[in-house]
C-alpha cells in the first residue's frame, strides 16, 4: 500500500493505516484512554498509540488531541511529546498554556524546560487495555 499524503509520504505501518481508516473510532478510543491519565501525570503521544495497539500512530494521537471537542473534559494537556517537551501547538497564541496547566497539577519541569518524565510519566497497570475495552462498550460523554 503506498504511503499517503497525510503521513508526510512515509508508510506508517499497518496499525496506523487501520487507525486512519477508522479515524473517528480511533479518536474516541484516544479520548477514553487520555481521560484515565491521573492528575499530576503525563503520557506521550507514542505511549497512547502503543497502548491502543497502533504503536506507529503517535501523529494520529496528536491529531486527536488537536481535534478534541471544545470544552471537553479530555485532559489533552497531559499528553506531551516523547522527549518530555510540551506541544508548541497546544493553544494557538499562547505557547505557555500547556506548561501552566501541568504546573498547576504539580508536574515538575527540568531546567531545560522538559517534563521530569522519571517523576511524572503515567505507567498504567496491566489491566489498562482491558479496562479501556470495557469502557468503550459504554457510550462516553466527551463534551
8 Å CB contact between 32 and 136: yes
Q: Are 74 and 142 in contact (CB under 8 A)?
A: yes
Task: Determine whether 76 is an active site residue.
Answer: yes
- The one catalytic residue among 65, 76, 79, 80: 76
For cell 502503543, the residue is 50
Give the C-alpha separation, 99 to 11, whole Å. 32
Q: Which residues form the catalytic set? A: 76
Amino acid at each position: 500500500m503506498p504511503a499517503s499524503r497525510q503521513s508526510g509520504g512515509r508508510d506508517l505501518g499497518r496499525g496506523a493505516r487501520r487507525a486512519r481508516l477508522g479515524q473517528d473510532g480511533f479518536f474516541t478510543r484516544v479520548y477514553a484512554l487520555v481521560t484515565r491519565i491521573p492528575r499530576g501525570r503525563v503520557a506521550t503521544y507514542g505511549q497512547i498509540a502503543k497502548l491502543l495497539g497502533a504503536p506507529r500512530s503517535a501523529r494520529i494521537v496528536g491529531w486527536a488531541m488537536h481535534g478534541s471537542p471544545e470544552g471537553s473534559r479530555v485532559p489533552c494537556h497531559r499528553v506531551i511529546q516523547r522527549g518530555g517537551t510540551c506541544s508548541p501547538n497546544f493553544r494557538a497564541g499562547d505557547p505557555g498554556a500547556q506548561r501552566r496547566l501541568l504546573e498547576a497539577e504539580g508536574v515538575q519541569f527540568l531546567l531545560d524546560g522538559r517534563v521530569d518524565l522519571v517523576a511524572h510519566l503515567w505507567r498504567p497497570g496491566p489491566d489498562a487495555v482491558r479496562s479501556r475495552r470495557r469502557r468503550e462498550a459504554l457510550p462516553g460523554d466527551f463534551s
